[in-house]
Chain A
Amino acid sequence: MNANPLLISGLVKTFGNSRALDGVDLDLRAGEVLGVLGPNGAGKSTLVRSVMGRVAADAGTISIFGTAAVPGDQLSRLSIGFVPQEIALYPLLTVRENLVVFGRYQGLAGSVLSEAIERSLGWAALEERQADPVGRLSGGMKRRLNIAAGVLHQPRVLLLDEPTVGVDPQSRERIYSMIESLREDGVSLIYTTHYMEEAERLCDRIAVMDHGKVIASGTKDELVRSTIGSGREIRIEVLTDIPITLRDELVGSGATVDELRVTMLSDHPAQDVARLVRRLDDEGIAVVDLSIRTPTLERVFLHLTGRELRE
């Protein structure tokens, strides 16, 4: 079967007066991690729920490995795993009991189920806590178990809806390594997030969503090139306040001045860095840090929408 794991075309969904999805086109390629990046309310969760058949789209099509998937038809979705944004587990049941319950709901039984549970416990590093009720686990452990419960049946495609919300950095790292091991196993993943660091680190391609639309997609470099161009971001940190006259002059030349920081997108970074440092030096303002780097996804999003990702 050579068809794409997932192909979404012209998906529209309206709730009352709100258009949650406004003609979304997206394709997930075999073995890749496709990040869906966007602020809260962009339509990411509605998109994932539509793919899982939990939301009936008003228009558009979804095909899974070349087969059209209509809402309510779970058979066409058996190759997909789903990890919801919420901790969708039974808090009074133990870690193992939760895995048994969800494994059985996925149709697993006997030795197949036992093997799946052992594999998942190891993968999520929860073997030592398997007899503990979920309610007693830390937030990070619950998140890991939440993901493990979605992959018991070894899906070929996994949809993760903001799986690291509210997780501390250490647990987040553990989750990243779980995701990376899935990719190594050839699982195709859709990963929704509003953390650009996650998208940059984990995703092969990124689709930027805003107001129910995919406004850009591609690798990070492609997104930067197609939105910002080949320029680099110059960032200069200074020791003292910049006088208003100089501030106006810098802004007039295309820079952004934010208290003790000057940033600028430049197609000729070497020349522009020299010019900026010279002007600051002329005014007696000490430079404490200087960097030239590829623009971040944050800047891409700002460029595309005119607002910050976390507004």
Chain B
Amino acid sequence: MILSVMRAGWMNLRRDRAALILSFIVPMVFFSIFASVFGGSGKERTAKIELAIADDDQSPRSKKLIETLRAESALRLIESPGEKDPKFNGSTVEAYVRSGSASVALVIPKGFGATQLDFASTDGTGQPTLRVIADSSDPIASPMVNGLLQKSVMASMPDMFMKGGVDIVDRFSGGLSAEQRANLDQSFSMFDSSSQVAPGTGSAPAAPGFSGVNVKMDDILGATKKNPLVAFYAAGIGVMFLLFTAANAGGALLEENESGTLDRILTTRLSLTQLLLGKMAYLTTLGVVQLVIMFIWGAVAFGLELLSHLTGFFIMAISTALACSAFGLLLASLSRTRAQLSAITTLCVLTISAIGGSMFPRFLMSETLQKVGLITFNAWALEGFIKVFWRDQGIVTLWPEVSVLLGTTVVFFVAARQLTRRWEIA
């Protein structure tokens, strides 16, 4: 008897193609997507960190430091916004990070090359100072750049360390003789010429507890936030749940079709286009309300700065809710039954949420996945929210994200309208 029950189950499964695909193919697809997003494919490494550099010093030493950093395999150096643009300076590179084009920048200040190390200084005031401008939304980039910077300084400027050490000896040992000084100068020139150490090979590691040059970390975006990460979570989770809500609510169309209500509706003065537009208006208001509640809760419970970003928030909330609504209608029109819609929704929403950055920041994904992520509209929605809440950018800068979201809305709606023609007239 038990065997008969088992056999009946297999027979049913064999005849249900959708269930077969869901049982065996979809898990593999999901596994591949999530493995690529969270673990990398094994062939492709995590994206290089883009380090914007402003060399205000323009000294041989600063140039040497830049060359050493350029050879680091984990970094990609950007010295100007575009190929034909002038090179960064201290202020333009800060604007570059603030705009989100790079998550970390290095400013080599004027006088860096002329400053000597002062090992006698206990508070570091006598040391050459580098400024690292960081966008702490990328929690990995700035610590990594800091570490690589210390290593590169040690590797590229042994003469500076030697001179600093000799100055201490000179100061506290009663002075060097002329012969000793001449020998040391010769040695310095040798260090200078042999300082083209292949970076990344681990040469000249920093001594434990020794900080080398001063690095001033400057978190220009997160420093002013009460709770920096909450803006990311609010946007990421908000957009993902908006997608689920829209898709499930769009399923009302399928219920109306199955119950015969659609038949009745379409014999009234209401056309199918009007019906879909009405559904989209409902789903959009539902989505906006959902985001408003979520962000108010974020403000009350987690210190999200909602009141100071209200205009940008509403622009992004409405654009995102529109795109999500049209997406929900499209999924409903693609499905034949509510069960199908549920499966398709889970598959699509989790996939685009993973690729689009709702679950895992896109900047930590491989370069290929970062590019692929841009084909998902939710990645643009997230970027817009981040511009508003993280980068404090003006609403004018939201035009690319808003354009993509509104364009997506139109495309999804037209596609849904075409697919629902099957319900219009038999």
Query: Taking beta carbons and an 8 Å cutoff, which residues of A are in contact with B?
Result: 15, 49, 52-56, 71-72, 74, 77-78, 80, 82, 84-90, 102, 105-107, 149-150
Is the CB–CB distance between B425 and A77 below 8 Å?
no
A150 in contact with B264 given A87-B259, A105-B270, A107-B269 (CB within 8 Å)? yes
A54 in contact with B266 given A72-B424, A87-B260, A88-B260 (CB within 8 Å)? yes
Is the CB–CB distance between B269 and A106 below 8 Å?
yes
Q: Which of B261, B271, B424 contacts A90 (CB 8 A)?
A: B261
Is the CB–CB distance between A88 and B268 below 8 Å?
no
Is the CB–CB distance between A74 and B267 below 8 Å?
yes
Residue in chain A with minimal CB distance to B258: A86
The size of the chain B interface, using a CB distance under 8 A, is: 15
Is the CB–CB distance between B260 and A74 below 8 Å?
no
Asked whether any CB of chain A lies closer than 8 Å to the CB of B185, the reply is no
Is the CB–CB distance between B267 and A102 below 8 Å?
no
Is the CB–CB distance between A102 and B260 below 8 Å?
no
Q: B interface, by DSSP: helix, strand, loop or mixed? A: loop
Is the CB–CB distance between B264 and A84 below 8 Å?
yes
Q: Which residues of B contact A49 (CB under 8 A)?
A: 263, 426
Q: Which of A77, A85, A107 contacts B267 (CB 8 A)?
A: A77
Is the CB–CB distance between A54 and B426 below 8 Å?
yes
Is the CB–CB distance between B261 and A88 below 8 Å?
yes
Q: Which residues of A contact B28 (CB under 8 A)?
A: none
In angstroms, how far is the closest chain B Cβ from the Cβ of A6? 15
Bound together, the chains give a CA A85 to CA B260 distance in angstroms of 8
Bound together, the chains give a CA A102 to CA B270 distance in angstroms of 10
Q: Which residues of B contact A88 (CB under 8 A)?
A: 259-261, 263-264
Residue in chain A with minimal CB distance to B426: A55
Q: Which residues of A contact B35 (CB under 8 A)?
A: none
Is the CB–CB distance between A89 and B261 below 8 Å?
yes
Bound together, the chains give a CA A49 to CA B261 distance in angstroms of 13
Q: Which residues of B contact A78 (CB under 8 A)?
A: 269
Q: Which residues of B contact A102 (CB under 8 A)?
A: 264, 268
Asked whether any CB of chain A lies closer than 8 Å to the CB of B300, the reply is no
Bound together, the chains give a CA A15 to CA B425 distance in angstroms of 13
Q: Which residues of A contact B264 (CB under 8 A)?
A: 82, 84, 88, 102, 149-150
Asked whether any CB of chain A lies closer than 8 Å to the CB of B144, the reply is no
Bound together, the chains give a CA A88 to CA B269 distance in angstroms of 16
A74 in contact with B426 given A86-B259, A86-B260 (CB within 8 Å)? no
Q: Which residues of A contact B182 (CB under 8 A)?
A: none
In angstroms, how far is the closest chain B Cβ from the Cβ of A18? 13
A74 in contact with B268 given A54-B263, A87-B259 (CB within 8 Å)? yes
Q: Which residues of B contact A54 (CB under 8 A)?
A: 263, 266-267, 425-426
Q: Which residues of A contact B289 (CB under 8 A)?
A: none
Q: Which residues of A contact B265 (CB under 8 A)?
A: 105
Q: Which residues of A contact B269 (CB under 8 A)?
A: 74, 78, 105-107
Residue in chain B with minimal CB distance to A85: B260
Bound together, the chains give a CA A84 to CA B268 distance in angstroms of 13
Is the CB–CB distance between B425 and A52 below 8 Å?
no
What are the 3 A-B residue pairs with the smallest beta carbon separation, nearest first?
A: A86-B260, A105-B268, A88-B260
Residue in chain A with minimal CB distance to B275: A105
Which of A53, A77, A84 counts the most B-chain CB atoms under 10 A from its CB? A84
A52 in contact with B267 given A85-B260, A88-B259, A89-B261 (CB within 8 Å)? yes
Bound together, the chains give a CA A221 to CA B185 distance in angstroms of 130
Q: Which residues of A contact B426 (CB under 8 A)?
A: 15, 49, 54-56
Which of B259, B424, B426 counts the most A-chain CB atoms under 10 A from its CB? B426
Bound together, the chains give a CA A107 to CA B270 distance in angstroms of 8
In angstroms, how far is the closest chain A Cβ from the Cβ of B323? 27
A72 in contact with B425 given A86-B260, A87-B259, A88-B260 (CB within 8 Å)? yes
Residue in chain A with minimal CB distance to B271: A74
Is the CB–CB distance between B267 and A82 below 8 Å?
yes
Residue in chain B with minimal CB distance to A81: B267
Bound together, the chains give a CA A86 to CA B263 distance in angstroms of 10
Residue in chain A with minimal CB distance to B265: A105
Q: Which residues of B contact A149 (CB under 8 A)?
A: 264
Bound together, the chains give a CA A87 to CA B264 distance in angstroms of 10
In angstroms, how far is the closest chain A Cβ from the Cβ of B109? 67
